[in-house]
């Protein structure tokens, strides 16, 4: 495809638009927390508050998933779902 960015942006939901993904990658590749804050402000100024919130959510999603996987409730759910699975 010649213009895959345009093709994707026409079809993707707001939280998966190319500028959100680019912003998330830009923030993610920061060398330290200070640079991460500076880059987040730059992304905020470029794409606005709503889209920046999506970008930062993508950056922190793996950490959030890890917290959930380590939670007692998730482990109980996992044990329960494994024990009720029919083989």
Q: Check: CB of residue 55 under 8 Å from CB of residue 27.
A: yes
Predicted pLDDT at 85: 61
Enter the tokens of residue 86. Answer: 């029919």
Q: How far apart are CA 21 and CA 42, in angstroms?
A: 14
Predicted pLDDT at 40: 98
pLDDT band at 60 (very low <50, low <70, confident <90, very high): very high
Asked whether the predicted pLDDT for residue 86 surpasses 90, the reply is: no
Exposed, middle or buried, 49 (CB in 10 Å: 0-12/13-18/19+)?
A: exposed
- CB neighbours of residue 18 within 10 Å: 13
Q: pLDDT tens across 2-50, in order?
A: 677 888 889 999 999 999 999 999 999 999 999 999 999 999 999 999 9
Q: pLDDT tens across 65-81, in order?
A: 999 999 999 999 888 88
Asked whether the predicted pLDDT for residue 1 surpasses 70, the reply is: no
Q: How far apart are CA 3 and CA 22, in angstroms?
A: 16
């Amino acid at each position: 495809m010649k213009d895959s960015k345009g093709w994707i942006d026409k079809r993707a939901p707001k939280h998966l638009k190319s500028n959100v993904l680019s912003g998330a990658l830009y923030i993610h590749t920061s060398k330290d927390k200070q640079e991460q804050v500076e880059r987040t402000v730059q992304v905020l100024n470029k794409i606005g508050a709503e889209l920046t919130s999506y970008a930062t959510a993508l950056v922190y999603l793996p950490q959030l998933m890890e917290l959930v996987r380590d939670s007692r409730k998730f482990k109980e759910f996992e044990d329960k779902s494994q024990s009720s699975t029919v083989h």
